[in-house]
A and B are shown apart, each in its own frame.
Chain A
Amino acid sequence: MTEKNATAYQVMWNRLLAVVEEQGQALIRAAFSPIVRDCGDISAGIFDIKARMLAQAVTGTPGHINTMAEAVKYLHEYFPTQAMKPGDIYMTNDPWIASGHLNDFLLMMPVFRKGHVVGFTSCTSHLVDLGGLGMGPEGADVYDEGLLVPPCKLVDGGEINAFLLEIVKANSREPIANEGDIYALIACCEIGATRLVEMMDEFGVDDLMPLADHIIDTSRRGTIEAIAEVPPGVYKNAMLIDGYEKQIELCGTLTVKADEMILDFAGTAGCSAKGINVPLNYATAYSVFAMRCIIGSDIPNNAGSLESFKVTGPPGCILNAQHPSPVAQRHTLGQMTPDLVYGCLHQAIPDRIPAEGASSMYDLPMRHAPEVARDGGRQFAVELTHNGGTGARPTKDGLSVTAFPSGVWGSQVEITEAVAPVLVRRREVRPGSGGAGKWRGGLGQSIEVTSANDAPFLVFLSVERISFPAEGRAGGMAGAPGRMRLDNKPDLPSKCELRIEPGETLYFDTPGGGGYGDPEQRERDLVAKDLEEGLITVETARDIYGLKEE
């Protein structure tokens, strides 16, 4: 490599990163699916002719990390490149190929320049509805959950397969939104392809491979250097979580070698009869995300930075659910895997790993009761996203009411009340919910919701950490568990369908994060400040933190 090439490669690398961000933005802006626009639940990437991922947009939810990289490899093998024509686009929503449930559609497009395929663009987006029982955990198998489109050609030489689109629309409660979202995906692939060709023209590059090698080699080297800082060994962790019918044990064994990290889920419980099972690609996405937050977090996602992280699991365990297990709510458990991984990593690098957090999102999907529609009342369907506290960090408190590992935005009350006939009576942090420690866990929040118009409505709950709170680390204490109830009735389980009658109030308390280190070692000023700010009680300050009253 000549000295001039080094900067030229880097400029082109930066350009690729800008292109995928541009692709991602275009997709988010045109999306209909609320989870896409609020949470950036998409991915967009550029691949070389060997289907190695060169760049991926950094978006709000990590659920597509690695999944897209693997999916494109699959499609690349499935469809021979020689047979591809300019303007072709391939598609699938197979949960075991794309991103873990039917709602995620993945597209891949070959990029042609001067008559040859020079690379691929790809993107994934969450479609609103694919028929079946819809986005809930009630399906008995994936057939109950809606339409599965196997790998196929969506666009043939620029011509959209109209029949295929009709099938997708005919099998959806939201056909128009689905069509809109598929068009957005097509546009996203095309924008990426156009920009890639423009870049190659501008820089006078006919072959992307030297640049690809530069990106992948540089990233691999940086990642291996970061892994080398982790003491080699085998680290095991197990954690109990709520599950659906019964509690579930998740097990992880992390093997750290000089140049790779391998996570295995052996020992993890088998699948649930309900749709909370997780295909391995999705469990991998969140596990690798968790590791990459700690190890080489400054290196962009690409084939080079991802290849040193491997995730395996015995087929049939709940983190490697096999077809045709129901998987619609795979994110509820998928988002718990970072805590499983961190329990392993903490043994290797104790001063760099946060305590457990609320982790799984606290969603509030709500819609009108069936008879409201029949009687001509106000119909609505919204999905409010809320969160608990994150785990305390080795040198800082946890973050109160903040999403991690997901990157969702919380819903604001004034918007909620405009789009749905509900009244939020309260939304405040939960004093005392952060796990005590030298560094305190982030606090959860308390939300109270009631009907605003004397009509009943339904809520679909699928959360975690009701029975098993976020544990502390290094002597830190657990955060408060989540808690949900209707008025003064008994507490609700973590997954259920609920009907809220006029006059009834849903109390929805999200969990706090775990603490880090011995509470007695917390700086006295910080204990006093927490007390002054009303984040802990006088009793906690005295009894747990050992603050002497003055």
Chain B
Amino acid sequence: MNSQNDLNADLRLAVDIGGTFTDVVLVDGNNRSLATTKTATTPDNPTRGALVGVRQVIDQAGVSLNQVVGFIHGTTLATNALIERRGAVVSTITTHGFRDILEIAYERRYSQYDINIEKPDFIVPRSRSFTIPERLSVNGDVLTPLNEGAVDALVEQLESVRTEAVAICLLHAYANPDHEQRLKTLLLERRPDLVISLSSDVSPEAREFERLSTTIANAYIQPLMSRYLDAFAKDFAKEGLTCPVLMMTAGGGMTTLETAARFPIRLVESGPAGGAILSADVSAQAGYDRVLSFDMGGTTAKLCLIDDHQPQTTRQFEISRAARFIKGSGMPVRIPVVDMIEIGAGGGSIASVDRLGRLTVGPRSAGSEPGPAAFDKGGVEATVTDSDVALGYIDPNAFAEGRLTIDVAKANGALEASVGRDLSLSALRAAEGVSQIVDEAMASAGRMHAVESGKDLGERVMIAFGGNGPLHATRVARRAGVKKILIPLDPGVGSAVGFLSAPVSFEIVRSRYTLLDQLDPHALNQLFDDMICEAEAVVRAGAPNEELRYERTAFMRYHGQGHEIEAHLEDRAFEGDDIDALRLAFEEEYKRQFTRVVPGMTIEILNWAVRVSTVEKERNVGSTSIAPTQITAKGRRSIQCDVTGGKVEAAVFERKELSPGNAFSGPALVVEPQTTTLVSADFTALVDNQGNLLLKRMINKGDLA
């Protein structure tokens, strides 16, 4: 860091506002961290907490805010507004004859054996669901013109229920947005104050229920988010910020404030997406092509697959589930998101024994209030953190930089009371049980996620971060069959660090159904041109001069199947000859996922996507061959060995005192301000060129895997 002065010319800030903490990271032009901080989130006005954090890092680094040239912001505000139902009064307008798209939904119970389930709350009751006569065909042809004469009565209906925001979703509007746009114009002429979201803008994909649901979610948070974004930008400008604020999206890209205000739904879950971006970036620097990102915090663990330095993305996502972590119990939202599996397993997850005598952990969480019993803030139920304390993995005196004291006796007491008593186990054995159950749950979730994506965990490198990720990494990896783990720098504030590696990007998906054999290249090129033009305009607003990358994707399947497979197209106009190439691309991907293609089957294409993004900066790929120097620790601590189940002496290292090339074997603990890494007895550790901690599992003792 000797050329610090030059690099200060390119200072960049990332602010990640989470439910409990606001993380702020300041980096120089080489993406090297100059200062990080974790401050309490201020829910009444989240900007206030962000200002506190930003002032702290600016002071720590001895720079001033007007030197900052890049500012990336991610927030859970959008997600929380949806979960806590703090949005606008939304009414819907759908095609006449289709008032009950929400009421009907999937016609399905999300829990097979539970006859007492509640249907998810889709925000808009039937009494605020209105219709208008009009109808388009599947190709977007007008079958029944929009009845403009019905608009006055519609406005009266909207007013009678005190509508603040309107979600318009007409059948097949993804194929032709004219009716939706015209209706919006007519409504605004009469009521200019209405906030209106169109399904053809927000999520132009076939499947009316998901499209309507997505449009409602967007409309619901739009007034709140545009106020917030406006105030955030103004407050920071007042503070001296001169560069534009870019927003982190769920898809792992950045977008402008203006686009964020139009499509606030794209801001949900941007924090976790930042974590995945961090993993992707680290994987590129370290030269790993197949990665499992493992982010374990206080309430949940999130796992994500990363191939060729790109997080896997999806367009299926659910918000505010009626039954947390049960698929299908939430409100479906179809936007580009980083594909993550999230399970209720975090430091605060509560352990208990069910009536069959089965030990269960989570999804109930003690959160930060009252928190684990060991925090001595009134928590009495045993949590995963209590188990880690009892096992000796958390140093009672060095937790959270000493800001929180750890009461080992309280942890043991809780384990004994809520687990040990029912199963006649000692506190220590109960702690082991809690660890085994929660680690198995995370490993299973990871395996399941890989299976659903048609991928394998076996040869992946796990990149572990979050407050509890490094602590549980070896235990989860062993169960998932993963042999190599990387703990990046600043693992405790991973998401915010990730923001700084995100490209400015925008993705559009549009439905245009066709059989592969009947594909009309001219119409397809027209569709792509329109989509690229739209996406480019959004990206250019945040990245006026950078080089751009264009990705075109087709979502294909055999006619008769239900799951689509992504096939990539070349970035140029499609020609008739390309149909065969597209068939080959599909078959190759199909073979990879299902071992063999099905000859002679008709292939169909449902959706087309375009992603426009800035090109990632050249990464300096670290040399993996670094001469290891065995080091010995100053400190030692007695811990419970997770391999043998007996007591062992573990070496204790301070992360900040480690340097590249340092090597040691487990059992060991690596302590840093926001987390601790457990190097289990069957793992070795090496610090690589970038300062990452590299753990490798020995299959046989002394034998590197």
A contacts, CB < 8 Å to B:
3-4, 6-8, 10-11, 14-15, 18, 21-22, 25-26, 29-32, 34, 37-38, 58-60, 62, 128, 176-177, 179-180, 183-184, 187, 198, 202, 218-219, 221-222, 225, 292-294, 297-299, 354, 385-387, 393, 395-396, 399-404, 407-410, 412-415, 417-418, 423, 425-429, 443, 445, 448, 452, 532-535
Contact = CB atoms under 8 A, between A and B. Distances in A.
Contact of B112 (A30, A58, A387, A426): A58
B108 A409 contact: yes
Contacts of B145: none
B451 A417 contact: no
Interface stretch (B219-227, B373-381, B533-541, B594-602): B594-602
B298 to A, nearest CB: 23
A428 B171 CA distance: 14
Contact of A429 (B104, B138, B426, B440): B104
Given A37-B563, A297-B114, A403 B109 contact: yes
Contact of A532 (B127, B424, B558, B562): B127
A225 B355 contact: yes
Interface string B581-610: 000000000000111101111000010000
Contacts of A401: 100, 103-105, 107
B115 A38 contact: no
- Which applies to chain B's interface (DSSP): helix, strand, loop or mixed? loop
Contacts of B109: 399, 402-404, 407
A47 to B, nearest CB: 20
Contacts of B593: 29
Interface residues of B, number: 73
Given A297-B114, A407-B112, A428 B100 contact: yes
Contact of B98 (A403, A410, A426): A426
Contacts of A221: 356
Given A3-B423, A32-B558, A417-B172, 7 more contacts: A4-B645, A62-B112, A177-B601, A354-B115, A402-B119, A410-B107, A533-B125
A177 B560 contact: yes
B441 A14 contact: yes
Contacts of A202: 479
Contacts of A427: 97-98, 100, 104
Contact of B563 (A29, A386, A413): A29
Contact of A299 (B118, B356, B513, B606): B356
A295 B90 CA distance: 41
10 interchain residue pairs of minimum CB distance: A410-B107, A37-B562, A426-B97, A7-B433, A18-B444, A297-B113, A222-B356, A533-B126, A418-B513, A414-B206
A354 B114 CA distance: 12
A14 B444 contact: yes
B446 to A, nearest CB: 10
B113 A3 contact: no
Given A4-B429, A183-B596, A11 B436 contact: yes
Nearest to B560: A32
B448 interface: yes
B354 interface: yes
Contact of A387 (B107, B433, B447): B107
B2 interface: no
Contacts of A385: 107
- The winner among B118, B451, B513, B645 for most chain A CB atoms within 10 A is B451
Given A18-B444, A32-B561, A532-B127, A294 B115 contact: yes
Nearest to A353: B115
B437 A402 contact: no
Contact of A413 (B105, B116, B171, B354): B171
Given A25-B452, A34-B560, A393-B115, A418 B206 contact: yes
B20 interface: no
A399 B119 contact: yes
Contacts of B424: 3
Contacts of B702: none
Contacts of B104: 400-401, 410, 427-429, 445
A202 to B, nearest CB: 8
A57 to B, nearest CB: 11
A225 B143 CA distance: 61
Given A180-B598, A183-B596, A429-B104, A25 B97 contact: no
Interface string B433-465: 100110011001001100110100000000000
Contacts of B432: 4, 7
A249 B250 CA distance: 56
B107 A7 contact: no
22 contacts: A4-B429, A7-B436, A8-B436, A11-B437, A14-B441, A21-B448, A22-B451, A29-B594, A187-B595, A219-B356, A293-B114, A396-B118, A399-B117, A400-B103, A410-B107, A414-B206, A414-B208, A415-B207, A428-B99, A429-B100, A443-B103, A448-B97
A22 B107 contact: no
A425 B108 contact: no
A29 B454 contact: yes
A291 to B, nearest CB: 11
Given A7-B436, A354-B115, A428-B99, A176 B107 contact: no
Interface in B145-170: none
Contacts of B601: 176-177
A413 B208 contact: yes
- The winner among A15, A387, A399, A418 for most chain B CB atoms within 10 A is A418
Contacts of A128: 560
A179 B99 CA distance: 42
B508 interface: no
A20 B595 CA distance: 20
Nearest to A37: B562
A503 B113 CA distance: 43
Nearest to A191: B451
Contacts of B174: 414
B670 to A, nearest CB: 26
A50 B440 CA distance: 27
B598 to A, nearest CB: 5
Contacts of B437: 7, 10-11, 14
B357 interface: yes
- The winner among B172, B433, B560 for most chain A CB atoms within 10 A is B560
Nearest to B599: A176
Given A3-B429, A412-B207, A413-B208, A396 B595 contact: no
Nearest to B206: A414
A10 B452 contact: no
B185 interface: no
B600 A176 contact: yes
B643 to A, nearest CB: 12
A382 to B, nearest CB: 10
A322 B358 CA distance: 42
Contact of A26 (B143, B206, B436, B451): B451
Contacts of B357: 218
A533 B444 CA distance: 43
Given A14-B444, A221-B356, A533 B113 contact: no
A445 B103 CA distance: 10
B528 interface: no
Contact of B97 (A62, A402, A404, A428): A428
